[in-house]
Structure 1
Amino acid sequence: MTDAQLHRPSGQHRTGRGRTGTVSALRLLGKIVAAIVSASLLVGAGYFRTSYTSLERGLHRVSVGGLGQPAPVARGDTPKQVDGSAQNLLVIGDDDRSGLTPQEIETLHVGAASPTTSTDTLLLVHVPANGAKATLISIPRDSYVAIPGFKNAKINAAYIDGAQYGTDGFPVTSSSSDAEKQAAGITLLIRVLKNLTGLRIDHYVLVNFLGFFHIAQAIKGVTVNLCHAVDDSRSGFVQSAGVHHLTPVQALEFVRQRHNLSDAQGHQLNDFGREARQRYFLAAAFNKIETAGTLLNPSRLNGLIAAIKSTLTIDDGLSLTTLAHQMLDLTSGNIAGQTIPTEGSQMFPAPVGSALIVDPATVQRQIQRWLHPSRAGPSSTPGGSTRTSSTSAAPSKSGSAAPAQHGCIN
């Protein structure tokens, strides 16, 4: 992956006359919306500039610690950071169900609200300086890690620990606001992820539990291709093998499913399968959002912006325009997905239970192979980068995604 920044003539970003200019502006606007959803973004002129301004002013921003700072480096080692204008974005999905009515809980098959918020979806999105590709790296929620200031636990406990008890520079008391608790939780989570991956984290996007549903609702669903028939009573997702255009409710069921999923060899996928589904959904949503058919519909565009404003939280330093321009050449076919390598599971005393063993040194070496293959040389682990739009991830010690039947997902 090159770190050379690619620039277009400045006039090429401006809205020209006629339909060609309008569609060009819409594509850039689509990058801003799509970027904040699947880790990209947008800008436009006229009506589209107004839409962008509405999005920019309406986003909920929370300042946190640790962003943009290098990850710790072991003694005697040298930093292996992204450079130039390459960026690493952390996408956090939480399971907040507060405010749902009993009817909504039943319709969406989500169950009652829990007393604490868990971050069951953790994605690191690497955007190289030229913006032509993106790599989505899933961090399994059951990864057993060190949490500074607390006992070792599953990684999805980091946010809860920080939000309840605070962390360095972000104290939490009984009088702390929800935003202050959120900032402490995200700050501690960022620290844990930097220690695990060795990557600098530049920005974050927090998507609440209904974010997938609201976004799918705004873009009128997404199309998926299933390798096998699916029947999961827990998520409610029931479909035959083949291509399906999912309704918003079905899209939420699709990204939540973790049971009754197996690969071609019959291995149960569980959380690995759900992570692959989430990456698949993001690629599909990105592809649909950036099409002129979606963006030329003012009602649909306004609905999408409203959904984003109501479901997303971002850091106060994330520039939508900068990221949009950087990702101008990104297409859904150039979004690759991976899951960090794990080394089996182990039982721990309550309340941890069964957790996945991860070795930070192994994780960091594998991530560098994914992001900088020309520097790292051939990987010692099987498999390689796979497109989220056409593959399914199987659990393995290497963390690589096993190719599925072309164009479909398990």
Structure 2
Amino acid sequence: MTQEQAADQWDPIGRHRTSRRRRGLAPVRMAVRIVAAGVSLSLLVGAGYLRHTYDSLDRGLHRVAVGGLGQAPAPATGARLQHIDGAAQNLLVIGDDDRSGLTPRQIATLHVGAADATTSTDTLMVVHVPANGAKATLISIPRDSYVAIPGFRNDKINAAYIDGYTYGTAGYPVTASSSVAQRQAAGLTLLVRVVKNLTGLTIDHYVLVNFLGFYNIAVAIRGVTVDLCHAVDDSPARNRAQGLGGVGSGFVESAGVHHLTPTESLEFVRQRHNLFDGHGHELNDIGREARQRYFLAAAFARIERAGTLLNPGKLNALVAAIKSTLTIDSGLSLDSLAHQLLDLTGGNIVGQTIPTQGSRTFPSPVGDALVVDPVQVQDRISRWLNPPAPSTPSSSTPAGSSAAPGGATRTPAGGVAAAAHGCVN
């Protein structure tokens, strides 16, 4: 090696140098190194920020301990439910109708009626998250399902929480001096028991969402995108003209794809009138439940696409909305749940509604309610969570599809598909 060649390889203090023949690449390499160093620093800072934000959320959530979580119920006599155990989780999602704290302006804007404190649970869903987090199943339970409520009369399932909240249940007494948290614990314990008896599922955890929960989350993510199979009009004026009185969510929109504002998002999930399937049958609460499942899938997809988790401003807004929205059980590990949801995407959320046997009028004060058979419900859930091997798909148009312009078909997503894969009625 000549002295010139040696000089190309080493500097006076023994550090390696770039050959003259490759010296033209030095600025590019330096730029790459600077960018890499900057990205590494950003990731470290970002990871620290995300951990700080997560810890803040975990500390800020309202937690109420309840009984019966994690304990498998006895299946209904005759049911063949195959229980899902191991690392899988079943979360009971409860939406209450508490309007307390709303300002007159919010009442008028959101079309929600009086600002009273109620304990009506109008939304009930069991979210099954498998151990691998690959696909979540959202199982809706209509609020008017007629069930046995231990210690009380048979009633609509949305009375279970109210009964426990007002009068207490086994192990969770309620007196005139009981705090709101104590009443919540009693109501939730009784509701968990009723849901377990109906579905045959172990309920591992619960999430209670207050009335403005959907709205707060929609504000944080700046609305959601929905695909409507049909034009809808749930305005009070139209409902009055139909003899329904001045009810209605206020949601009015044409068929097709729309990005909804936060107010429209709340109207969308609250609509229960003027919702029809492909055969002209009115869906009522079942239609509303399908929309609520659709909203959750759309919100999940929106969070993914908008990069919310990597944007400090957006993430802070979402965390603030969640803190003001949710009550969860004392044992729910957000870290564990996050790991299970790591591979879950909006397209892997499947929605179902438990089977019912039509409506029937029961003695006062129950009135009209949906007949449900726990054996049938548990067998259906078993098939959903333990599906057979998929068969070869047919080339024919799926039942319930609606024709789209140009001859294409649009499949309603309400019962069986993810929000990203079809329209909603």
Same fold judged by TM-score > 0.5? yes
Task: Report the counterpart of residue 73 of structure 1 in structure 2.
Answer: 75
Matched ranges for 1:56-67 at <5 A: 56-67=58-69
**Following the alignment from structure 1 to structure 2, what is the Cα–Cα distance between the partners of residues 52 and 405?**
28
Quote the offset at 1:134 in angstroms: 0.4
Task: Report the counterpart of residue 262 of structure 2 in structure 1.
Answer: 248
Task: Report the counterpart of residue 218 of structure 2 in structure 1.
Answer: 216
The two structures have a TM-score, normalised by structure 1, of 0.83
| 1:266 to 1:322, Cα distance in 2 relative to 1, 3 A | same
**Following the alignment from structure 1 to structure 2, what is the Cα–Cα distance between the partners of residues 403 and 65?**
32
Quote the offset at 1:294 in angstroms: 2.1
Corresponding residue SS for 2:388 = helix
Q: Give the letter for the 1:407 counterpart.
A: G
Which stretch of the first structure deviates more once superposed, 195-204 or 262-271?
262-271
Find out whether 1:408 has 2:423 as its counterpart: yes
Residue in structure 1 matching 2:165, options 163, 180, 202: 163
| 1:301 to 1:150, Cα distance in 2 relative to 1, 3 A | same
Task: Report the counterpart of residue 179 of structure 1 in structure 2.
Answer: 181
Find out whether 1:54 has 2:56 as its counterpart: yes
Residue in structure 2 matching 1:263, options 272, 277, 282: 277
* CA RMSD, Structure 1 to Structure 2 (Å): 2.8
**Following the alignment from structure 1 to structure 2, what is the Cα–Cα distance between the partners of residues 178 and 390?**
44
Q: What is the number of equivalent residue pairs in this alignment? A: 363
Verify the 8 A CA contact 2:350 2:418 in the aligned structure 1: no
Name the % identity.
Answer: 71
Q: Give the letter for the 1:163 counterpart.
A: Y
Residue in structure 2 matching 1:278, options 278, 292, 306: 292
Residue in structure 2 matching 1:315, options 329, 332, 355: 329
Deviation digits for residues 131-163 of structure 1 (CA, Å, limit 9, x no counterpart): 100000000000000000000000000000000
| 1:404 to 1:329, Cα distance in 2 relative to 1, 3 A | closer
Verify the 8 A CA contact 1:391 1:403 in the aligned structure 2: no
Task: Report the counterpart of residue 4 of structure 1 in structure 2.
Answer: none
Q: Give the letter for the 1:294 counterpart.
A: T
Task: Report the counterpart of residue 41 of structure 1 in structure 2.
Answer: none
Bigger Cα Rg: 2
Find out whether 1:371 has 2:385 as its counterpart: yes
Verify the 8 A CA contact 1:391 1:404 in the aligned structure 2: no
Verify the 8 A CA contact 1:119 1:141 in the aligned structure 2: yes
| 1:287 to 1:406, Cα distance in 2 relative to 1, 3 A | closer
Residue in structure 1 matching 2:412, options 391, 397, 401: 391
Unaligned runs of 5+ in 1: 1-15, 27-43, 378-382, 394-399
Verify the 8 A CA contact 1:273 1:392 in the aligned structure 2: no
Verify the 8 A CA contact 1:264 1:404 in the aligned structure 2: no
**Following the alignment from structure 1 to structure 2, what is the Cα–Cα distance between the partners of residues 71 and 408?**
36
Corresponding residue SS for 1:120 = strand
Quote the offset at 1:18 in angstroms: 6.1
Q: After TM superposition, what 4+ stretches of structure 1 lie above 4 angstroms from structure 2?
A: 16-23, 74-79, 400-406
**Following the alignment from structure 1 to structure 2, what is the Cα–Cα distance between the partners of residues 22 and 335?**
32
The two structures have a TM-score, normalised by structure 2, of 0.80
| 1:21 to 1:259, Cα distance in 2 relative to 1, 3 A | farther
Quote the offset at 1:116 in angstroms: 3.1
Residue in structure 1 matching 2:360, options 346, 353, 357: 346
Task: Report the counterpart of residue 146 of structure 1 in structure 2.
Answer: 148
**Following the alignment from structure 1 to structure 2, what is the Cα–Cα distance between the partners of residues 357 and 76?**
18
